[in-house]
C-alpha cells in the first residue's frame, strides 16, 4: 500500500455508489500491449496507460487504445529519476513528452506518472505548469519483480484491495499472463473498473 498524504499527487479516485478501482499500466507502449488490450476488451474494462514518449511512434496501436475507452498519460520521455534533475530539466522532459504524445494522438495529455514513483517539489511545479495531474498509486502489484512467480501479482493486489484504489501494473509478460485471473478476482469481490 502506498499511503501518501501529499494532496498534489493522486493515489485513489473518489468513491462512488459502486466500489471501483483503476488499472494503470506503466512503461509502454510495449510488445505485450496488443494482448493486454485483447484481455481488457474481452472483459469490457477500461484502463490508463502511462507511456514513455521515446517508445511512442505513429505505428503503435494508440488509436485502438483510445477507441476502446482507455486513457494515455505520460511517464516522461526516457524514464529518468526526476528527483535527480533540475526544475528546468524536468519541465523540458515533460514538455517534450506531452508534445510527442499529443502530436501523434491529437488527444490532450492530462495525467503524468513520475518514473519510479520518485518526485520532488520541482516535479510537482513542472507538472502543474504544464497542466498535468501527477498520479501515483495506492496498490503496487510488484509485477516487475515477479517474472518467475506471476501468481503473486494477484495476491499483492487482492490482499490490499479497497474502494477507489489506483493499481500499479506494467506492460510485462508476467502481468499479461495473470491479468484475466486478476480481473476475475477483482470482479468477484464486487468491484467495477474506472479510469482516472
pLDDT-based confidence at 86, cuts 50/70/90? very high
Quote the number of domains for the chain: 1
* DSSP 3-state of 50: strand
* DSSP 3-state of 59: coil
Active-site choice (3, 6, 26, 93): 26
Q: Is the peptide bond before 29 cis (omega within 30 degrees of 0)?
A: yes
Nine cell digits for residue 20: 471501483
pLDDT of residue 4: 66
In a domain, 114, yes or no: yes
| Residue 87 DSSP code | H
Looking at the chain, the whole-number percentage of residues with pLDDT higher than 70 is: 98
pTM beyond cutoff 0.85: yes
pLDDT at 94 over 90: yes
pLDDT-based confidence at 118, cuts 50/70/90? very high
SS3 content of the chain, % helix, strand, coil (to 5): 40, 20, 40
Which residue range is the domain that position 38 belongs to? 20-194
**How far separated are the first and last CA of the chain, in Å rounded?**
18
In a domain, 13, yes or no: no
Q: What is the pLDDT of residues 130-148, one digit of tens each?
A: 999 999 999 999 999 999 9
pLDDT at 53 over 70: yes
* Dist. CA 149–CA 97, nearest whole Å: 33
In a domain, 72, yes or no: yes
Active site residue 163: no
pLDDT of residue 1: 59
Active-site choice (70, 156, 170, 188): 170
In a domain, 2, yes or no: no
Active site residue 93: no
In a domain, 8, yes or no: no
pLDDT at 128 over 80: yes
In a domain, 154, yes or no: yes
pLDDT at 165 over 80: yes
In a domain, 190, yes or no: yes
Q: What is the pLDDT of residues 1-26, one digit of tens each?
A: 566 678 889 999 987 788 999 999 99
pLDDT at 177 over 80: yes
pLDDT of residue 3: 61
In a domain, 61, yes or no: yes
pLDDT of residue 11: 94
CATH number, position 155 = 3.20.20.370
pLDDT of residue 157: 97
pLDDT at 28 over 80: yes
Q: Which residue has the cell 518526485?
A: 119
Side-chain-facing half-sphere of 179: CA atoms under 13 Å: 27
Amino acid at each position: 500500500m502506498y499511503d501518501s498524504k501529499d494532496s498534489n499527487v493522486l493515489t485513489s479516485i473518489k468513491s462512488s455508489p459502486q466500489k471501483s478501482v483503476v488499472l494503470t499500466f506503466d512503461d509502454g507502449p510495449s510488445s505485450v500491449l496488443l494482448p493486454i488490450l485483447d484481455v481488457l476488451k474481452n472483459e469490457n474494462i477500461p484502463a490508463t496507460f502511462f507511456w514513455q514518449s521515446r517508445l511512442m511512434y505513429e505505428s503503435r496501436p494508440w488509436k485502438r487504445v483510445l477507441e476502446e475507452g482507455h486513457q494515455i498519460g505520460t511517464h516522461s520521455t526516457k524514464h529518468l529519476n526526476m528527483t535527480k534533475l533540475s526544475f528546468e530539466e524536468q519541465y523540458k522532459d515533460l514538455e517534450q513528452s506531452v508534445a510527442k504524445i499529443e502530436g501523434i494522438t491529437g488527444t490532450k495529455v492530462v495525467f503524468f506518472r513520475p518514473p519510479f514513483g520518485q518526485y520532488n517539489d520541482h516535479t510537482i511545479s513542472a507538472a502543474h505548469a504544464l497542466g498535468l495531474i501527477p498520479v501515483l498509486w495506492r496498490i503496487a502489484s510488484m509485477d516487475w519483480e515477479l517474472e518467475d512467480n506471476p501468481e503473486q501479482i494477484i495476491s499483492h493486489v487482492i490482499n490490499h484491495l479497497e474502494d477507489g484504489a489506483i493499481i500499479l501494473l506494467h506492460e510485462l509478460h508476467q502481468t499479461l499472463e495473470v491479468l484475466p485471473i486478476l480481473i476475475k478476482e477483482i470482479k468477484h469481490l464486487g468491484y467495477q473498473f474506472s479510469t482516472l
